[in-house]
Amino acid sequence: MRSHSSEGGARERRVLQDFARALSVIVDAPQLHTVIAAQLRDVFDLERLAIVLHDPVAGGYQLAESRGLDEDTAQLLSWEEGARLVRWLRVNEEPLVLAEQPGVVEYLDEQERNKLTASGSQAAFPLVAMNRLTGFLLVGGERALDGEGRDLLMQMAHQAALALENAALVSEQRARLRRLYRAERLATAGELAAGAAHEIRNPLTSIRSTIQHLYSSLPEEHPAREDAQGILEEVDRINGILEALLSFARPSEAVFTLVRLDDLVRQSVDLIAAQARRQGVEVAVDLPADAIPLVADAGLLKQVLLNLMLNALQAMEEGGHLLIRSQSIPPRRGEPAESGGALIEVVDDGSGIPEETLERAFDPFFTTKATGTGLGLSICYGIVERHGGDIEIETHEGEGTTVRVRLAGGGK
Ligand SMILES: Nc1ncnc2c1ncn2[C@@H]1O[C@H](COP(=O)(O)OP(=O)(O)O)[C@@H](O)[C@H]1O
Ligand SMILES: [Mg+2]
């Protein structure tokens, strides 16, 4: 920084303390990004700043937050896991100041160089915590580059990296707890339901045959015939619900084979296409060019896709957009291929789900619909679980919902 060393030292300490204090009270990742960006920009008077972070789901490094960049430029700022800039920062754990290290700049890919130039970045600072490259900062502004500024920014980057790792751990822990509670609730409700379903089935069968008998013994023109017909239909509806319930509580043997996810998606989309058209919902499919091979039960996976798409349609009574997107998840570094897999997203721009509903959405029988069974999501959950995967919902009221299903590559 510009001030002289003793004074500068005091100021640095204060800046670091303030920064640490601000970060220590936040565990929400997006909020953390905002605070880090705001503070760094303030302290170093940055013209441009991009925070690029590791994405544990999709792999690679993606822009999390930026200042002073237009949207088109910001869009460009993503790096692959093995990109040269990433590798250099990971190995060297020190800032790369472009003007000082032409050799390194030369070593980067042309694309990478273009991204740096387009974003007006003068240096890249690694965010390292627990021996991992959590991400990096791209900065434009002289104050961050002089000797003292550089040291201070490195220290702040280190604090930021720790806070980010911490936030990731906390949110992972929360998600794990949520899954645990959910599994517990499902197991209890499932057992109760299966018991009840069995009990209901027998009397229902005798009701059905009695009505059937009554129906056929009535003369063709008898006015009660229509009523009897109506009762039969309702009984069949109850039966349908019981079947779904039993299949959920006591699932049949899954048959795992090598399947093509894109085929399953297309087949499922075909099934809802007519319904979507009637409602004025536009359906789009975004699948990678390469087939994603999966070891899974094709029938069960289609059931998951169908349930999710139907929920989406039901949230868009007045029309909207439905997108089914999938991509493969590369295996984590140093872990076996099974740590990879597939990510499927069902995205709608329908009603969204209010907080209170979201908490209970996976509970069996929980429904907000007049004719819903409340079994769709709990069945999906059970199936995805049997595939060694997980399912989560991101939703914004009035804007829409994204359901994310992650499936393990090697099956179970
Ligand atoms: N894509 C979605 N958009 C809005 N709400 C949803 C969506 N998916 C699920 N929900 C909510 O979760 C509840 C439970 O869903 P589900 O288990 O499939 O049962 P059902 O569809 O029979 O109601 C729904 O009643 C609805 O309130
Ligand atoms: Mg449903």
pLDDT in tens, 146-197: 888 999 999 999 999 999 998 888 888 888 888 777 777 777 777 777 778 8
Please tell me the distance between residue 393's alpha carbon and the centre of ligand 2 in angstroms: 14
pLDDT digits (tens, 9 = 90+) for 268-292: 998 899 899 999 999 999 998 888 8
Please tell me the distance between residue 374's alpha carbon and the centre of ligand 2 in angstroms: 6
Rounded-to-5 percentages of helix, strand, coil across the chain? 55, 20, 25
Q: Is the pLDDT of residue 357 over 60?
A: yes
Query: Which ligand is closest to the CA of 345, given by its number?
Result: 1
pLDDT at 227: 93
Q: Averaged over 311-317, what is the pLDDT?
A: 96
Q: Residue 206, CB half-sphere, CA atoms under 13 Å: how many?
A: 4
Please tell me the distance between residue 301's alpha carbon and the centre of ligand 2 in angstroms: 15
pLDDT digits (tens, 9 = 90+) for 379-390: 899 899 889 899
pLDDT digits (tens, 9 = 90+) for 93-129: 999 999 999 999 999 999 999 999 999 999 999 999 9
**CATH 3.30.450.40 domain span(s) along the chain:** 5-172
Q: Is the pLDDT of residue 333 over 80?
A: no
| Choice from 245, 248, 311, 345 to test ligand 1 binding pocket (greatest atom count within 8 A of CB) | 311
pLDDT at 161: 96
Please tell me the distance between residue 71's alpha carbon and the centre of ligand 2 in angstroms: 37
183-203 burial: b if 16+ Cβ within 10 Å, else e? eeebeebbeebbeebeeeeee
Q: Whose CA is nearest to atom 7 of ligand 1?
A: 311
CA distance linking residue 136 with residue 126, whole number of Å = 4
Instruction: Tell which atom from ligand 1 comes closest to the C-alpha of 312.
Output: 1
pLDDT at 207: 94
Residues 6 or more apart whose CB falls under 8 angstroms from that of 353 comprise 361, 393, 395, 397, 401
Please tell me the distance between residue 168's alpha carbon and the centre of ligand 2 in angstroms: 31
pLDDT at 411: 44
For domain 253-412, give the fold: Heat Shock Protein 90 (3.30.565)
What are the two backbone dihedrals, phi and then psi, of residue 280, each rounded to the nearest 5 degrees?
Answer: 70, 35
pLDDT at 226: 92
pLDDT over 90 percentage in the chain: 62
Residues 6 or more apart whose CB falls under 8 angstroms from that of 216 comprise none
Q: Is the pLDDT of residue 7 over 70?
A: no
Q: How confident is the model at residue 353 (pLDDT cuts 50, 70, 90)?
A: very high
| Choice from 283, 310, 377 to test ligand 1 binding pocket (greatest atom count within 8 A of CB) | 377
pLDDT at 412: 43
**CB-CB neighbours of 269 under 10 Å:** 18
What residue type is 131 in one-letter code? Answer: N
Helix H or strand E encompassing 66: strand 61-67
CA distance linking residue 379 with residue 307, whole number of Å = 9
Classify domain 5-172 by CATH number. Answer: 3.30.450.40
Q: Whose CA is nearest to atom 24 of ligand 1?
A: 367
pLDDT at 372: 84
What residue type is 307 in one-letter code? Answer: N
Higher pLDDT, 309 or 186: 309
- For ligand 1, residues with CB inside 6 Å are 307, 311-312, 315, 348, 350-351, 353, 357, 361, 366-369, 372-378, 401
Enumerate the β-bridge partners of residue 327: 343
Mean pLDDT in the chain? 89
What are the two backbone dihedrals, phi and then psi, of residue 48, each rounded to the nearest 5 degrees?
Answer: -140, 140
Q: Is the pLDDT of residue 249 over 90?
A: no
pLDDT at 3: 47
Least Cα distance to 143 among 65, 232, 44 occurs for 44
Tokens standing for 293?
A: 């091979």
pLDDT at 6: 53
Least confident of 17-21, 247-251, 304-308, 346-350: 247-251
Please tell me the distance between residue 403's alpha carbon and the centre of ligand 1 in angstroms: 11
Q: Whose CA is nearest to atom 18 of ligand 1?
A: 376
| Choice from 279, 317, 367, 397 to test ligand 1 binding pocket (greatest atom count within 8 A of CB) | 367
Please tell me the distance between residue 397's alpha carbon and the centre of ligand 1 in angstroms: 13
pLDDT digits (tens, 9 = 90+) for 42-101: 999 999 999 999 988 778 999 999 999 999 999 999 999 999 999 999 999 999 999 999
**CATH 3.30.565.10 domain span(s) along the chain:** 253-412
Helix H or strand E encompassing 52: strand 48-54
DSSP 63: E
147-217 and 224-249 are packed helices; what angle lies between their axes, rounded to 10 degrees? 140
pLDDT at 58: 77
Helix H or strand E encompassing 327: strand 320-329
Query: Which ligand is closest to the CA of 281, given by its number?
Result: 1
